[in-house]
Structure formats: structure tokens, C-alpha cells
Structure 1
Amino acid sequence: MLKITYPFCFDKIPAFFIDRVNRFVVKIKIKNGFSSKDRIYLAYLPNPGRLWELLLEGTELLLVPNTGEAKLPYTVLACKKGKNYVLLHTHLTNQVISTLITQQKIAFYREFEVEKTEPSYADGRFDLLLRNLISQERRVLEIKTCTLFGKKIAMFPDAETKRGQKHLLELLNLSQEGYQAEMLFVVMNPDIEYFLPAYHIDFGFAETFLKVKNQISLRAVALGWDEGFTEVKEVKHVNIPFNLLEKELKDQGTYLLVFKIDRWVNLSTNQKNFTIKPGFYVYVGSAMQGLEARIKRHLRKHKKPHWHIDYLLAQATAILPIPIRASEKLECAIASDLFKLSEEVVSGFGSTDCRCLSHLFCFSSSPLKNSAFQDLIIKYRIDRLCSYLK
């Protein structure tokens, strides 16, 4: 594999995303110069995140050719989101930040130098060891790459991470032993102004984030790249609104259930009968107390049916919950938006206690691969919070 060093002063191969084979392999399309024939390859994706809103069919990618005995011909370096490039190669973020610190381009690290990479303390290994050039004090730094963002707010992680929570607690232990300890979140979008832990996705990480905020340093920066994705041209400090996090970090809110029905189903419930055709479905519900328990109940195979959805889930496959934690009830607003996106609705399903036509919506293909559906998730998980920050 070609050794990649920052700045990225090498030719990148433009390509388009087709599909994700597994966590670390994607299917991509490369245009052959002026040829009308497109070549399709597999490429290595050095990023275990979900990347739902980034890796949609047709997304522009930048690739690096692999050499030697690499199993795949290419490695994904970055993708394009709007007008900005997003670094997807998470292994390179440490190298980028180390160089920016050395170049004194990060304001709050201008009195520091990088003394060591991957320092080990106790049972943990961290990303950088910094030394203050004036006081000579040392600071242990853990770096996290953030690729999940809306218009003004970014969140980490985009998938549940026990490792991230473990790093926070290890930094806390170092702090209690007298070390300076810090976690830096690096947002790959220069338009971002605020950062929050992704409490919708990883409630435990967000709880730990709040727990340690007074004992370790928690910071975030947003990076902007040049047009050729060679080097960082902008570094911006990003605020962390802890008060908003404390307000929203509760076990309540709305949830989506995405699932598949493989055959025609004649559904008889206590209240009504439904005919459900094969396809992909999104159900929207809410639990303003005990959101996590409600979702777990829906996922249980053996339970006494209560709601309409309980009867249908017994016939469903590939059930995926998408929680949207909120202090306000968003169920009907989301249902209204899903009505506009979906191809069909199942009239009267799950909406007996409100004025909505339905809370069950049908799609002919997976909504997870639908950019408008991903925009809806970002709208309610992230962008709606902007109104609290004005």
C-alpha cells in the first residue's frame, strides 16, 4: 500500500461511490479518461463509521492507488459533501493535526510542540504527547475524526463506540493522577460552529462526555481544505454548548424503525386489519419516557402485541432503530415529512391517537440509501438544535 503523508502532494484519482460491501470495502466507479466505458472496482475504506449521509450512490470520491501486495487496488482518501472535501481516512487525522500544531496553525496549541506520537500510559495508548514550550508541562492528547454534521453543528460518533467512551475514562484517570489530558474532535467541515457528542447514537458516550468535562479538556476544531485536497487552508475553533447537551441528554424522544417486509402480509390487530405489501418501511413512534426501553421492546421477538407495529414486526426482517432524542415531541412533524418522501402510506397505521394519516410509510428500495431520507435524519437529530443556539 502506498504510504500516505500529509500534505497530500500527490495525484488523487477521482471516482464515484456505488455501494458499501462491508465496513472496510466499497464498490467504486472510475471514469477512464475520455472513454465512455466506466470501470468498477473494490476499494479499501479506512473508516469503520456508518457514514450514511456521506456514502450515497454517486458521491464523489478521491482515491489513492495501492501498491505491492495490497488486496485491493485503491484506498479511499476523501469524499465530497457539498462544496467541501471530507477526509475519510481516519488514520491520517493524527498526522494532519500533528503537522498543524508544528506549524502553529491551531491557536490554542501555539505554545506546544509534539514530543511523541502514540504515547503509552498505564493500559492505554493515546495519539499525541504535547509539551508546553514555556512551562514544559506535558499534555496527553486523544484525537477523534468527526464526519457527521448538519448545517452548523457536528456530532461524534456516527456509530456507537465503546472505544471512545473508554478513551474518555482513561483520560479522566490520567487527569486524576496529575497529568494534563485532552480530547480533540476534528470536524471535516469549515462551516461548522458547534460540536456535540452524538447522544442520539451513543447515549453512554455523551453521558461520559458530560461526566468528565470539568476534569479533562474537551475541544473541537473545524478544518477546511484547498480545492485539490492537498493541505488544510483553514482551522477554526468550534464551540461546545454544554448547557444544550444537558437539556437534551434524556431518555426520551422519537424513534424511527426501518425494516423490510418480504411477502404480502394480512395483518389483524385488535383495532383494525391491514394489508401490507412487500417493500421497505419506516415507522415513526415516540416515548417521552423510557425511549431506550421502548425500542428494546420493539426489537424483542417474543412479546404480547400492544401497538399496531408489534403485529407487523413479527413479520419483518432487517429491523433497524433510529432514535431521535429530544425534549419536545417530534413524532407528527416527522410523520408529515415522511409522507412527502415515501411512495405509499398504510392508512390509519399507528396514528389512532393523532390526526396524522399514518405513521407507517412504504419505499420500494432501502430509504437508508435515499439522500432525502438522510437529510430528514440530520434535520431532526442535528439541524433543529440550531434554534436553541441563536
Structure 2
Amino acid sequence: MNFTTPLQPATLIKRYKRFLADVITPQGEELTLHCANTGAMTGCAEPGDTVWYSTSDNPKRKYPHSWELTQTQAGDTICVNTLQANALVKESLENHWIKELTGYSSLRSEVRYGDENSRIDFLLEHPDRPKCYVEVKSVTLLHQGCGYFPDAVTTRGQKHLRELEIMAENGHRAMLFFAVLHSGIDSVKVAQHIDPIYAKLFEQVKKHGVEVVCYKARLSPTEVILQSPVSVTG
């Protein structure tokens, strides 16, 4: 996936109010960026990090600049715009790059399903195969060389696991897809120390047929591409 507009670098001053970040450009101009990531962003938003941002030409936007990538002072690159995870997976599905998810004739996004008023990220269908429900989660939390999900307690994520479990029990394929958007992460674990309820549900739904797949992205200021499988453990 290529960025539609060239990304520009700046130095992070601070992130605040979840949706905003102040940066300073190489020319000394201070800007306020919109941050699409509402999570904790642990290790992804340290003052002094290099931020790569895009700029929208939409005149109605209060904050035309959007925070896309972080280059940490340790040398890692992170895609902090969580909206890109679904775009990456969709591009990969359309191009048949994910070997576990080939052989389907139609792809739909944000389809309502389940008993808890959910929307599945992707629904794959083929007349001769069971439906496949795919829920996408981005992984950016790095600790001691390993990636963790979630990075905060997530009741929404717990709901998604329950919904996937029901789909699997009803004879459909149900998949939890982790997109690793951090160059320093080479394996992923479920963060039992952060959200023990999520970790317990994760082990439960796997036993009931929910599949878990994880791919790592190659990240740069010009493009982001899902590239290689990564292992996931509970």
C-alpha cells in the first residue's frame, strides 16, 4: 500500500487528548496533527521520536495533517494509524497474498453479524465453501523483543472473540487476524498481564475452532505492505 500523498517528517513534542499531537518540522514550524489511534500507544509516542505525517486537501478538516508512522529513537518504525491495518489486509486479500485466505469469490467489509451488534471487518464468501469471518487487530506494543496484544483492557476486543466463537460453532470459518505494524516485533503473545479476561477468552475460542493468523508488515515512509507470517502464542 502506497501512501496517497508523500509523508513529511517532524519531531514529536507531545501527544494529548488521545486524538492530537504537537510536532515541530525541520523548518521549525509547530503543527498539530490528528491521531487516529485511540489506544495507549505505549512505546510509540515518546517525545523526540520522528513522526511521519500525511496532509489532506479537504478544506473542512480542522486538522489537515495526520500522524501515520513513528520512527523511534531506538530505530524501529511503527504504523500508528490503526485505520491502515484494515486497508493493508484488504489489499492483501484482493491480491491473494494471504495464503490462509485464498479461494474466495467475494469480499465484503463491515458486515453486521452476531448477537452483540457487531460488524465483522471482512466477510469472505464462495458458493462451495463455508463463509469466513475475519476480525483484524493491529499489534504495536513491543516489550523485550516480543509483541503483545492488547495494549490496554479491551471490552470491545472481548466481544469480538465471543462473536467469532459463535460463528465457528455454527460451522463457519472464523479468524482473528493480527497485523504486526512494528518493525521490531518478530513474534506475538496475548497480553495476559494487561487483559486477563481477553487472554482467557483467546484460549477458549481457539479450542472452539477460531483460527489465529498473524502477518508482519514492511514499513517505510513510502509504503506499507503485509509481508511475512509471524507466530502467535497465548
What TM-score, normalized by structure 2, do the two folds share? 0.89
Residue 194 in structure 1 maps to residue 187 in structure 2: yes
Whether the aligned pair in 2 keeps the contact of 1:129 and 1:139 (CA below 8 Å) is: yes
- Name the residue aligned to 2:60: 69
Aligned-residue Cα RMSD (Å) equals 2.0
Decide which structure has greater helix share.
1
- Name the residue aligned to 2:20: 25
SS in 2 for 1:94: helix
SS in 2 for 1:119: strand
Q: Which amino acid aligns with 1:96?
A: L
Whether the aligned pair in 2 keeps the contact of 1:114 and 1:128 (CA below 8 Å) is: no
Matches within 5 A, 1:327-338: none
Whether the aligned pair in 2 keeps the contact of 1:186 and 1:222 (CA below 8 Å) is: yes
Instruction: Give the deviation of 1:58 after TM superposition.
Output: 0.9
- Name the residue aligned to 1:79: 70
Residue 217 in structure 1 maps to residue 211 in structure 2: yes
Whether the aligned pair in 1 keeps the contact of 2:44 and 2:80 (CA below 8 Å) is: no
Distance in 1 (CA, whole Å) between partners of 2:214 and 2:169 is 22
Q: Which amino acid aligns with 2:5?
A: F
- Name the residue aligned to 1:323: none
Q: Which amino acid aligns with 1:130?
A: L
SS in 2 for 1:89: coil
SS in 2 for 1:57: coil
Residue 41 in structure 1 maps to residue 34 in structure 2: no
- Name the residue aligned to 1:103: 95
Residue 204 in structure 1 maps to residue 197 in structure 2: yes
Distance in 1 (CA, whole Å) between partners of 2:50 and 2:196 is 32
SS in 2 for 1:185: strand
Distance in 2 (CA, whole Å) between partners of 1:85 and 1:16 is 14
Whether the aligned pair in 2 keeps the contact of 1:102 and 1:114 (CA below 8 Å) is: no
Q: Which has the higher contact order (CA 8 A, sep 6+)?
A: 2
Q: Which amino acid aligns with 1:74?
A: H
Aligned residue pairs, count: 229
Instruction: Give the deviation of 1:83 after TM superposition.
Output: 4.2
Matches within 5 A, 1:204-353: 204-215=197-208, 216-225=210-219, 227-232=220-225, 235-241=227-233, 245=234
Q: 1:115 aligns with which of 107, 110, 118?
A: 107
Instruction: Give the deviation of 1:76 after TM superposition.
Output: 0.7
Q: Which amino acid aligns with 1:69?
A: K
- Name the residue aligned to 1:127: 121
The superposition leaves residues 123-179 of structure 1 with CA deviations (integer Å, 9 ceiling, x where unpaired) of: 21110011358x433201110011112454211111111100111011112222222
Whether the aligned pair in 2 keeps the contact of 1:24 and 1:44 (CA below 8 Å) is: yes
Instruction: Give the deviation of 1:107 after TM superposition.
Output: 2.5
Summarize the Cα distance change of 1:117–1:157 in structure 2 as closer, same or farther, 3 Å threshold: same
Instruction: Give the deviation of 1:39 after TM superposition.
Output: 1.3
Decide which structure has greater strand share.
2
Q: Which amino acid aligns with 2:139?
A: C
Whether the aligned pair in 1 keeps the contact of 2:217 and 2:224 (CA below 8 Å) is: no
Instruction: Give the deviation of 1:223 after TM superposition.
Output: 1.1
Whether the aligned pair in 2 keeps the contact of 1:85 and 1:229 (CA below 8 Å) is: no
- What percentage of aligned pairs have identical amino acids? 23
Distance in 2 (CA, whole Å) between partners of 1:93 and 1:140 is 16
Instruction: Give the deviation of 1:186 after TM superposition.
Output: 0.7
Whether the aligned pair in 2 keeps the contact of 1:101 and 1:112 (CA below 8 Å) is: no
- Name the residue aligned to 2:8: 13
Instruction: Give the deviation of 1:99 after TM superposition.
Output: 0.5
- Name the residue aligned to 2:80: 88
Summarize the Cα distance change of 1:113–1:223 in structure 2 as closer, same or farther, 3 Å threshold: farther
Q: Which amino acid aligns with 1:94?
A: N
The unaligned stretches of length 5 or more in structure 1 are 1-5, 33-37, 246-390
Whether the aligned pair in 2 keeps the contact of 1:195 and 1:240 (CA below 8 Å) is: yes
The superposition leaves residues 289-334 of structure 1 with CA deviations (integer Å, 9 ceiling, x where unpaired) of: xxxxxxxxxxxxxxxxxxxxxxxxxxxxxxxxxxxxxxxxxxxxxx
Distance in 2 (CA, whole Å) between partners of 1:175 and 1:199 is 23
Instruction: Give the deviation of 1:25 after TM superposition.
Output: 1.0
Distance in 2 (CA, whole Å) between partners of 1:74 and 1:218 is 34
Whether the aligned pair in 1 keeps the contact of 2:123 and 2:134 (CA below 8 Å) is: yes
Whether the aligned pair in 2 keeps the contact of 1:155 and 1:198 (CA below 8 Å) is: yes
What TM-score, normalized by structure 1, do the two folds share? 0.55
